[in-house]
């Protein structure tokens, strides 16, 4: 393998339709990515474990093991971004995918141009996660640490602690929490979170933010019906309590 090949990002495409796999392989290769393919859910899990791809493009309706089950299995062991591909009207699949830890979704039939933009945005977010960020004066920053009340984020280790207990978040959940904790007390709209955290204009589907926030609360709050850390400003957005 050449040095250039070694530093290319690898994308695992999981789809049982050969025409779609070929279409994606051609276009992603043109964009400079390495592409590996799986035709069913069991092969997807095996390849993800063995090859450690940088991103997974995962169809929901695949044989042997459906895409939602594949997403759950992979997210239990790896923190790789997963973009789910769903049928046009399958809202249940979209929400379930996000609940299981998927980072994003696209609907069939999809625009290749839009899909590549979303892939690039998700990969950029991974790279950006390792960058040093400044916090506002409302937070306390020590050695790349954000501390707001009982909430602590270690930006170098990508770790979250609540009352000195570690909390396991997906990359997307971590990014949302980090963005809000960087400016505690400031209410951020769903639209701004979509733009800043997801990295692109999200065509108005703000439910993605709501689902992600709900998942975060399940992990950091003692009582999700009465949150004390990640707060909602009705009809406006979300903020971290100070």
Tens of pLDDT, residues 197-222: 876 655 546 788 898 899 999 999 99
Tens of pLDDT, residues 124-140: 877 765 444 443 444 55
3-128 domain in CATH 3.30.230.30?
Answer: no
Tens of pLDDT, residues 59-110: 999 999 999 999 999 988 888 999 988 875 666 777 777 778 888 888 888 8
Strand extents, DSSP E, the chain: 10-14, 34-38, 55-59, 82-87, 104-108, 140-141, 145-148, 151-154, 159-162, 165-167, 188-189, 230-233, 237-240
How high is the pLDDT of residue 189? 93
How high is the pLDDT of residue 78? 87
Q: CATH code for 140-240? A: 1.10.10.10
Q: Please report, rounded to a whole number, the percentage of residues in the chain having pLDDT higher than 90.
A: 50
Q: Which residue spans of the chain are classified as CATH 3.40.50.2300?
A: 3-128
Tens of pLDDT, residues 4-20: 555 789 999 999 999 99
DSSP annotation of 183 reads S
Q: Which residue spans of the chain are classified as CATH 1.10.10.10?
A: 140-240
């Amino acid at each position: 393998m050449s040095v250039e090949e070694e530093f290319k990002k690898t994308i695992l495409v999981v789809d049982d339709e050969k025409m779609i796999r070929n279409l994606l392989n051609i276009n992603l290769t043109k964009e400079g990515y390495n592409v590996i393919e799986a035709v069913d859910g069991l092969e997807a899990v095996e390849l993800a474990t063995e090859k450690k791809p940088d991103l997974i493009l995962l169809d929901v309706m695949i044989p042997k093991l459906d895409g939602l089950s594949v997403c759950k299995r992979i997210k239990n062991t790896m923190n790789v971004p997963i973009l789910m591909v769903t049928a046009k009207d399958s809202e249940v699949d979209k929400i379930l995918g996000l609940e299981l830890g998927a980072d994003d979704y696209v609907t069939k039939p999809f625009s290749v141009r839009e899909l590549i933009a979303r892939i690039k945005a998700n990969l950029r977010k991974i790279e950006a996660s390792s960058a040093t960020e400044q916090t506002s004066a409302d937070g306390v920053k020590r050695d790349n640490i954000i501390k707001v009340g009982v909430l602590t984020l270690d930006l170098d280790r990508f770790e979250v602690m609540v009352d000195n207990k570690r909390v396991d978040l997906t990359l997307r959940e971590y990014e949302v929490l980090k963005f809000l904790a960087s400016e505690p007390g400031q209410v951020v709209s769903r639209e701004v979170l979509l733009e800043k955290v997801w990295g692109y204009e999200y065509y108005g589907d703000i439910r993605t933010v709501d689902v992600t926030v709900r998942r975060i609360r399940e992990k950091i709050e003692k009582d999700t019906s009465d949150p004390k850390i990640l707060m909602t400003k009705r009809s406006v957005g979300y903020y971290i309590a100070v």
